[in-house]
Amino acid sequence: MKVLKSWLNDWIDIEDIDSNDISDALESLGFEIESRTDKVPNYKNIVVGKVLEIYTHPNADKVRVTKVDVGSKVYEIVCGAWNFDIDAVVPVALPNSEIKDGFKIDKRDIRGVESNGMICSASELDLWDDHAGILKLSKNIKIGSDFSKIYNSVDTLWEIGVTPNRGDCMSHLGVARELSSYFDKPIKSNDIKLSPNIENVIKVNSGRTKFCDSYLSVEIENFDITDSDIKIRYRLSSVGVRVINNVVDYTNYVLHDIGQPLHAFDRDKLFGTISVRKAKEKETLKTLDEQTRKLSKDDLIITDNDSPIALAGVMGGYDTEVTDSTKNLLIESAYFDKVSIMKTSRKLNLISDASIRFERGIDYDIQHKGLERFISVFKHDQDINYSEAMISKKNTFSHENITFEKEDIFNILGVELKDDFILKTLSKLQIQSTLADNKISFTSPSWRYDLERPIDLIEELAKHYGYNNFNSTLPIGKNLNNKGEFWNKRNYISNLLSSKNFYEVQTLSFTDKEANSIFTPEKTSVTVINPIDQTQESLRTNLLTSLINTYKHNYENNNLSCKYYEINNVYDDGNHKLYQDIPNQEYSLGLLIPENESNPDTRGEYIQNDIHTLTNIINLLFPKVQFEKLLRPGFHKNYSYILKLNNKIIGFMGKLSYQAQSLLNLDTPIYLIQINTESFNFKDIQEHNYQPLSSYPFIKFDLSFTVQEQFSASELIQYIEGLLPENENNISIFDNFRTEKSRNLGIRIVTRNYNKTYTDSESGEILDMIVKKVQSKYSIKLNKSDDNAT
Amino acid sequence: MAELNFDKVLASLRLRLDEVTSENEFDEISKEFLGKDSLLSDERKKLSTLSKDDKKSYGEKLNRVYKSITDNITKSKIDFIDKKYSNLENSENEDVTINWVNKQGSHRHIISQVMDEVVDIFSSIGYKVAYGPEVETSWHNFDALNTPEWHPARYESDTLYTDINLETLLRTQTSTVQIRHMENNEPPAYIVAPGRVFRSDQLDATHSPVFHQLEGLAIDKNLKFTDLKGTLEYFVKQFFGEDIETKFIPHFFPFTEPSAEVLVKWNNEEWLEILGCGMVDPNVLKHVGYPKEYQGFAWGVGIERLAMLKYQIDHIKNFYENDIRFLEQF
């Protein structure tokens, strides 16, 4: 919302206060300052003149020649605008003056006639956008005056944010009330005495609906529809309202002045009693913008003899609108229900200055003042006739008196506020209050809907005390250096993967249904009913597609083939493990390893990864993991595994199937892992068993066996370890050679006794024992043994 | 007495030493000139045949010659070794300014790093990490947080819903975790909840449908507005540095009262808002059934915003495109 310093000055004397101080005040009162403009005239040496004569140009028919009196002298000026007659009072740029943006005006020959300057339009003086012609001023202004002196040409404009709970601040009066307490200056009453001189012709009432608390009207006769006063037009255009004509401008003016929206009807287009009700289904109304709107029973409407004539608080009707030929007016000033207006304006997407104010709640006791202000502004300009206000009010509002202990203030804020500060602040805010026996009682004024509880008043006091005047104290919480398992687990995994040159990524949680079905067709996607676009309607059921997209992005854009991981939620339509009424969500880890990985060393070749790189990473993360072969969608026939920890499934991994690889347009094979990080405890993966170091020399055997195609090497290692339970063992596979007919497995056994050095014969016995046991257990053939191999 | 021509011996030694090509030759030379078959040894054997005076003077001479030979060999050996290693090092002369290996760092995503940093700061003053679901009930996202029925944040134009009755949604704020935590844990509560939140915005330079917040909540007996100020000032100084200026200005959030925004003075010029906070509204505590003597404060901070400020990142889009050129910089 925009506020003008000169306009605020109508309500509180702040003209002499530095604008920087006002900015500080606004911010400290909770108005975020979005922008501030220090206004100065964008012109020089413009004077007020009066048109004495107008005659045709001898050599041009698109312009006219005028004689203009500027007080000291009469000038001949050629003018291209036609929207004025003799006697018009206008701004004149004499020779040696400047209009908008430093454009110099001088004597100039226009087709043989010397023009001694220029008659200016509002746009040419950078006042507001108006290309209809020159700017016509009130005939009361003294000829020869300095134009910049006839309105507040030096001014400050603020654009401020008003929080949604403070509808009462959406006017100059509202902001002035807040500043009044800050600067300790009184609010001016600006009351005027009206003397109505015509009778009301049209009856109005607020209807039987609870959605209209009050409906007031005045009627106005004997006026001209014309431009409004320059001061009004300057103010409205400064705060961003388009100036139209006096009737429309004055209704807008009252809205920005005191926050009461008004609506003007052409009285001669009204026939019966004006009332308010909710619309019926299938009723229609042609609104000002000439659209025929279908109404519903949620819409609050104004009726004339029970027929819709306006959408209450949102938009007027076409059939009763004020036009250039309007002779008599009926001005509406009403209080409409917040939620009702909000629903209608949002549904029809008609959001106006008026609807926004009704939505947030206007002062329920200001409707009469709204009409008074309207008449007083109009009367200042023209000698109008007007009626009394017709008032229909239900008085549904009353603000309760609330009492609380004064010590509650300290208990919440941590500072003691002095009694006189409390009382003075509340009084400036026109909040009725008393302080006795350490109890505070208050009743909020008719414009405040945000003061319903003691805490509301405590906040109000804190704000006016100034947040930056509070002390600071640092309490220490009860969870010192205990981040909790969720975070520790996440960081542990992340640190391990970082050390292996994986890049962590953060990708969006959205995808489309088809992408989800590549890897996790068994899961039903959670869908967004109002998606940003159709490719983002589903929440991802796995992290793998996102990882592949990231891989492809960097491969295609940067020619880099890297390893990635992401730790984030996946979602599906199943039941949530802990909570009711929400879908299942699993905080998951996804990894991607390409077969050809770019070498970080630019001298190096591609790093070759294979299924063993994958198992290596998994073993690093989960030393006790078990693999169980199971073909999952999207995976390679032989390289697709379920991962288990303590016999519980924690995830799956494998190689992308060649078909999926080709479908996804990937140049290199890809290995993928997805783990549900909620499916295991941190201690299950972190547990470390220390193996003591033997101080005796090792013995070492390299054995080579012929094994079956499906033989599991890790099982063999575990078996051999079991055969040497008292030793420090280090058993590894050093060869896995395949031909079409056979498979050879080379296994290296390095073992040390904890208590002695093995003799040659003991060493030989151990070798014989292992070979014998392994051959009989697995029925595999020993090809070769190399005792104490090096 | 016929003395050996020692000058000749030394000259011959020097010739030998000059021709050395490998280190073990020095042992051979020692043996040749000082060993038991050497000329010097032969001369020593003759000593016993000499008169007492001659014996003394010739003996001393032999000793001097012995020392001279030893010194020559030792010096020559040292020089040889020096020269050998010096040559070796001369031959190794790479241009160290060439960076063959691409930037290798932790490669953790900057959002994770910033979340970690913020968590660490609050962990140091007694806060634990809590987490809650991202697909939430409207009740947890709005009602329990005291958001009125008519509040604009509930509009479908702002919030992404996952059911037609608008009862479940993608949480728009991590404040939901306050409610989940308090529903499931007795007071006191000292938690921070980093996580994803969602809004109905297209991904562009300044908007993202997904972004990250960190919610903080402190509930205990006797926590006051002054504690809120001290806690958040501590955080801002830890994160941005001791010299940063902060100020608190009033604001409005449905679930806190009094509410405030914290601004920091950036580069000694502009005041930028970095977090929203306030005393937890009594209605929120009532919704989760906390006893009356408990109260406290809460705050929410945008992780992307912190990252963008601290690391001068210009596009939100960068966080979610995961371009290696971006990832590698952190």
ipTM of the modeled complex: 0.86
- How far apart CA B299 and CA B227 sit, in angstroms, is 12
Q: How far is B144 from chain A (nearest CA, A)?
A: 15
The nearest alpha carbon in chain B to A164 belongs to B252
- pLDDT reading at B224 higher than 50: yes
- Return all residues near A439 (Cβ < 8 A) that are at least 6 apart: A403, A404, A405, A406
d(CA B260, CA B229): 10
- What is the nearest CA distance from A509 to chain B, expressed in angstroms? 7
Q: Please, are residues A786 and A763 in contact by the beta-carbon 8 Å criterion?
A: no
For A221, residues 6+ apart whose C-beta sits below 8 A from its C-beta are A198, A327, A328, A329, A384, A385, A386
Sequence-distant (6+) residues with CB within 8 A of A49 are: A68, A69, A70, A71, A75, A89, A90, A91, A92, A119, A143, A144
Of B210, B248, B324, the CB nearest to A560: B324
Q: Are A186 and A12 in contact (CB under 8 A)?
A: yes
Query: A24 to chain B: nearest residue by CA?
Result: B249
Residue B166 pLDDT > 80: yes
* Residue A467 to residue A249: CA distance in whole angstroms: 39
- Token pair, residue B153, equals 């944040």
Closest CA to A230 of A301, A134, A296: A134
Q: Give the pLDDT of residue B169.
A: 96
CB contact under 8 A, B162 and A527: yes
- For the four alpha carbons of A702, A707, A713 and A716, in that order, the dihedral sign comes to negative
Cβ <8 Å between A459 and B259 = yes
pLDDT the model gives residue B119: 97
Confidence (pLDDT) at B7: 85
Whether B135 and A582 lie within 8 Å, measured CB to CB: yes
C-alpha to C-alpha distances, A537 to A394, A524, A525, B7, nearest whole angstrom: 48, 13, 9, 102
Q: What pLDDT shows up at residue B40?
A: 83
Contact A729, A750 (CB under 8 A): yes
Shortest distance between the Cα of B76 and any Cα of chain A, in A, equals 40
Does residue A789 register a pLDDT over 80? Answer: no
> Rounded to an integer, what distance in angstroms lies between the CA atom of residue A520 and that of residue A588?
14
CA separation for the pair B283, B293 (Å, rounded): 14
Is A559 an 8 Å CB contact of chain B? no
Q: Which residues of A touch B223 (CB under 8 A)?
A: 475
| Least trusted range by pLDDT, from A323-327, A598-602, B107-111, B274-278 | A598-602
Specify the pLDDT at position B107. 87
- Selected for mutation to probe chain B from A338, A429, A504 (highest B CB count within 10 Å) is A504
- For the stretch A423-432, pLDDT in tens is 999 999 999 9
pLDDT at site A193: 86
- Specify the pLDDT at position A402: 95
What's the confidence (pLDDT) of residue B87? 93
Q: State the nearest Cα–Cα gap between B70 and chain A, in angstroms.
A: 43
Q: How far apart are CA A739 and CA A345, in angstroms?
A: 77
Size of interface A-B (CB pairs under 8 A): 253
Decide if A453 and B282 are in contact by the 8 Å CB cutoff.
yes
- Nearest 5°: the CA angle A397, A400, A404 is 160
pLDDT band at A787 (very low <50, low <70, confident <90, very high): low
Mean of all residue pLDDT scores within chain A = 92
**pLDDT exceeds cutoff 80 at B105:** no
pLDDT at B102 over 80: no
Do the chains contact at B322 and A506, CB–CB below 8 Å?
A: yes
Around Cβ A84, how many Cβ atoms within 10 Å?
19
Q: What is the amino acid identity at position A605? A: E
Number of other residues whose CB lies within 10 A of the CB of residue A343:
18
Per-residue pLDDT, A690: 83
Residue B85 near residue B27 (C-beta atoms within 8 A)? no
pLDDT in tens, B44-74: 888 888 888 888 888 888 889 899 999 999 9
Question: Which residue(s) pair with A146 in the sheet?
Answer: A47
| Residue whose C-alpha is closest to residue B108's, from B95, B97, B117 | B117
Residue with tokens 């990937």: A666
Cα(B323)–Cα(B327) distance, integer angstroms? 6
A349 touches chain B (CB under 8 A): no
Q: Which residues on chain B are in Cβ contact (under 8 Å) with A582?
A: 133, 135-137, 168
In angstroms, the CA A774 to CA A785 distance is 13
Place of tokens 């100084």: B237
pLDDT tens for A487-513 read 999 999 999 999 899 999 999 999 988
Q: Are B134 and A569 in contact (CB under 8 A)?
A: yes
Which value, in Å, is the radius of gyration of the alpha carbons in chain B?
42
Q: In A, residues 581-600, which contact B (CB 8 Å cutoff)?
A: 581-583, 585, 587, 600
Query: What distance in Å separates the CA atoms of residue A570 and residue A547, rounded to the nearest whole number?
Result: 13
Find the mean pLDDT for residues B249-254: 94
Q: How far apart, in Å, are the Cα atoms of A527 and each of A95, A293, A557, B16? A: 70, 32, 31, 92
pLDDT at A641 over 90: yes
Instruction: Please report the pLDDT score of residue B1 as a whole number.
Output: 56
The two beta strands, B128-129 and B189-198, are parallel
> In whole angstroms, what is the distance from residue B112 CA to residue A505 CA?
9
Q: What are phi and psi of A9, to 5 degrees?
A: -65, -20
Q: Which CATH architecture has domain B110-327?
A: 2-Layer Sandwich (3.30)
Percent of chain A with pLDDT over 70: 99
Q: How far is A495 from chain B (nearest CA, A)?
A: 8
Phi-psi sector, A556: left (phi>0), alpha (psi -120 to 50), beta: alpha
Question: Contact A363/A259 with Cβ under 8 angstroms?
Answer: yes
Residue-level pLDDT at A191: 86
What integer is the mean pLDDT of A448-473? 95
Q: Does the beta carbon of A550 lie under 8 angstroms from any beta carbon of chain B?
A: yes
pLDDT of residue A470: 95
Could you tell me if A339 lies within 8 Å of chain B, comparing CB atoms? Answer: yes
Nearest Cα neighbor of A520 from A538, A544, A552 is A544
Mean pLDDT value of segment B106-114: 93
Closest A-chain CA to B219: A477
Say what the pLDDT of residue B46 is: 85
**Of A343-352, A383-392, A435-444, which gets the smallest average pLDDT?**
A343-352
CB A650 within 8 A of CB A680: yes
pLDDT interval class at A779 (50, 70, 90): confident
A274-278 and B246-253: which strand pairing?
unpaired
Predicted confidence at residue A110, as pLDDT, reads 87
pLDDT of A790 > 50? The answer is no
State the best of B100, B101, B109 to mutate against chain A, taking most chain A CBs within 10 Å: B109
DSSP letter assigned to residue B47: G
- The pLDDT tens digits for A181-195 are 899 999 998 888 889
Contact A573, A526 (CB under 8 A): yes
**Does pLDDT of A202 surpass 70?**
yes
Which among A344, A529, A588 is the top mutation candidate for probing chain B, defined by the most B β-carbons within 10 Å of its own β-carbon?
A529
- Res A537: pLDDT: 92
Three-state SS for A696? coil
Q: Determine the residue of chain A that is closest to B221 in CA distance.
A: A411
Percent of chain A's residues with pLDDT above 90: 78
The answer to whether the CB atoms of A501 and B107 lie below 8 A apart is: yes
Q: Return d(Cα A234, Cα A127) in angstroms, integer.
A: 7
Task: Average the pLDDT over A125-145 and give the result.
Answer: 86
CA angle A547, A552, A553 (to 5 degrees): 95
Backbone Cα Rg of chain A: 42
Q: Which residues pair with A675 in a beta bridge?
A: A589, A651
Chain A contact set for B226 (CB, 8 A): 413-415, 470-473
DSSP summary character for residue B2: -
